[in-house]
Amino acid sequence: MHGFLHCYYKDIYGIRPAERELQNTVVWLSCGFDRPPSRDAVGRFLTDPKHVVDETFDHLVEQAVRRGLLDLTYCIDSTFRSPTMNVETIQEVP
């Protein structure tokens, strides 16, 4: 994620330009990559970011719960969730 934020910050968009920027050793090391990402990896990230966003959101909510930042009931972006509700059931907060 850091690499793509770096690219957006530098107004670099598209698969090939982002892949080219992330080939820079200083960039990929400072962004936390073990090696430069392949063009295929960059393409998958840029063309289908939904799974990345969903995983990141879930991870952040789990961290907040572990740290006690969320009570038993919490509201995020007008969705209501409670431990007594089925995970699949999301209701809008009035």
From edge to edge, which strands make up the β-sheet containing 91-92? 74-76, 79-81, 91-92
Hey, which residues does 94 pair with through a beta bridge? none
Whether residue 73 contacts residue 80, with contact meaning beta carbons closer than 8 Å, is answered with yes
Beta-strand relationship, 79-81 and 74-76:
antiparallel
- Three-state DSSP class for 6? helix
Q: How does pLDDT run across 59-90, given as a tens digit for each residue?
A: 887 888 788 777 655 555 555 555 554 444 44
Residue written as token pair 């572990």: 66
Whether residue 12 contacts residue 18, with contact meaning beta carbons closer than 8 Å, is answered with yes
Q: How does pLDDT run across 8-62, given as a tens digit for each residue?
A: 888 988 889 989 999 999 998 988 889 998 888 888 877 877 777 777 788 887 8
pTM comes to 0.51
